């Protein structure tokens, strides 16, 4: 087994996971619709059961939103997920076509035991990860895994470490498929269910190492810890996004950005900044400029009644603020 960051390890790392590790995979949440009710479902109340599409944190209302997000993080691949993405097969096929034009690697998660006919409609998908809801009836995925492999798609299971299901190991070893086991993560959506079933929660995840070790019998095995997602995957994606911001933003080790935010009469603020030839970005609600803005310009802006603050925020499309200090 090869050990990587934050307790993750593998004997086989699917291509999609290699790109996730680099922070280079865009997560395309195709729809929040799903006919299952897994007790550990991590999809938020805001999205579950709703037919909404997101590219990372950005709501996708048109193909343009998808492109903007892909460009912002210089995506090298797409992870298609949901809800149950295959409930919106045409939508998935459309995004697969678009992503393929840009030579992106595509992996798809699904709980549906999709057969050859369905898979043929998704030509362009490179990798498919089947998730039997609550690990029930893994045999239903034998034919789909065979069909995917026949079509040249790398295939396997991706499951949360809720319990050991021997049949899953037997199937992957018989079919030369891979097995991804994820540490069970706790969110506001699933916390009550997980605690109610007696799982021991530490921070925001469940330690279930005995179960994980049992799955090591799979020949093509990969364990992904909850912390890995934060310290490797998410952090690296943030850094990629931050690097695509104008040079005046300061970038932290965590991939967040620091800038000076100006609020108030933005037309007026623009006039002052243009007069002083200061670089800035204008949003609907504010203007952002260098955190090292010259004190004279700062005072000129304040004297016009504008509010200035130093802001540390995520470089994501929703610009979530971490810290604000008025200056």
Residue ranges in contact with ligand SF4 by CB under 6 A: 34, 36-38, 41, 43, 82-84, 111, 133
Kindly state the smallest distance separating residue 162's Cβ from ligand SF4, in Å.
11
Q: Which lies closer to ligand SF4 via its Cβ, residue 125 or residue 311? A: 125
Kindly state the smallest distance separating residue 273's Cβ from ligand SF4, in Å.
46
Kindly state the smallest distance separating residue 51's Cβ from ligand SF4, in Å.
13
- CA geometry: angle at 137 spanning 134 and 141, to 5°? 105
Kindly state the smallest distance separating residue 6's Cβ from ligand SF4, in Å.
23
User: For residues 288-313, b (16+ Cβ closer than 10 Å) or e, as one string?
Assistant: bbbbebeeebbeebeeeebebbbbbb
Integer CA distances (angstroms), 130 to 107, 140, 156, 244, 262, in order: 11, 10, 6, 34, 47
Q: Which lies closer to ligand SF4 via its Cβ, residue 72 or residue 184? A: 184
Say which DSSP state 135 is in.
G
- Judge contact between 207 and 226, C-beta under 8 A: no
Kindly state the smallest distance separating residue 235's Cβ from ligand SF4, in Å.
25
Q: Which lies closer to ligand SF4 via its Cβ, residue 91 or residue 313? A: 91
Q: Which lies closer to ligand SF4 via its Cβ, residue 45 or residue 213? A: 45
Q: Which lies closer to ligand SF4 via its Cβ, residue 84 or residue 154? A: 84
- Judge contact between 179 and 169, C-beta under 8 A: yes
């Amino acid at each position: 087994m090869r050990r990587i960051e934050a307790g993750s390890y593998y004997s086989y790392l699917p291509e999609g996971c290699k790109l996730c590790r680099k922070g280079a995979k865009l997560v395309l949440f195709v729809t929040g619709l799903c006919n299952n009710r897994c007790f550990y479902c991590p999809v938020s109340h805001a999205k579950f059961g709703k037919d909404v599409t997101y590219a990372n944190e950005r709501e996708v209302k048109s193909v343009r939103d998808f492109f903007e997000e892909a460009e912002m993080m210089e995506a090298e691949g797409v992870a298609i997920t949901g809800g149950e993405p295959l409930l919106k097969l045409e939508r998935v096929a459309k995004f697969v076509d678009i992503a393929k034009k840009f030579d992106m690697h595509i992996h798809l998660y699904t709980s549906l035991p999709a057969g050859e006919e369905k898979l043929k409609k998704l030509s362009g998908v490179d990798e498919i990860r089947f998730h039997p809801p609550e690990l029930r009836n893994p045999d239903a995925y034998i034919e789909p895994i065979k069909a995917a492999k026949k079509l040249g798609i790398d295939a396997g299971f991706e499951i949360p470490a809720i319990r050991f299901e021997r049949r899953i190991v037997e199937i992957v070893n018989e079919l030369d498929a891979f097995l991804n086991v994820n540490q069970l993560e706790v969110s506001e959506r699933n916390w009550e269910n997980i605690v109610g079933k007696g799982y021991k929660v530490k921070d925001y995840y469940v330690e279930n190492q005995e179960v994980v070790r049992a799955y090591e019998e799979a020949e093509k095995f990969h364990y992904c810890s909850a912390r890995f997602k934060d310290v490797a995957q998410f952090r690296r994606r943030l850094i990629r996004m931050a690097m695509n911001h104008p040079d005046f933003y300061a970038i932290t080790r965590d991939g967040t950005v620091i800038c000076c935010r100006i609020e108030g009469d933005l037309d007026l603020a623009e006039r002052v900044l243009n007069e002083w030839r200061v670089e800035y970005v204008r949003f609907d609600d504010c203007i952002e400029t260098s955190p090292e803005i010259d004190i004279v310009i700062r005072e000129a802006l304040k004297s016009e009644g504008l509010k200035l603050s130093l802001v540390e925020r995520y470089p994501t499309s929703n610009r979530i603020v971490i810290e604000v200090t008025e200056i």
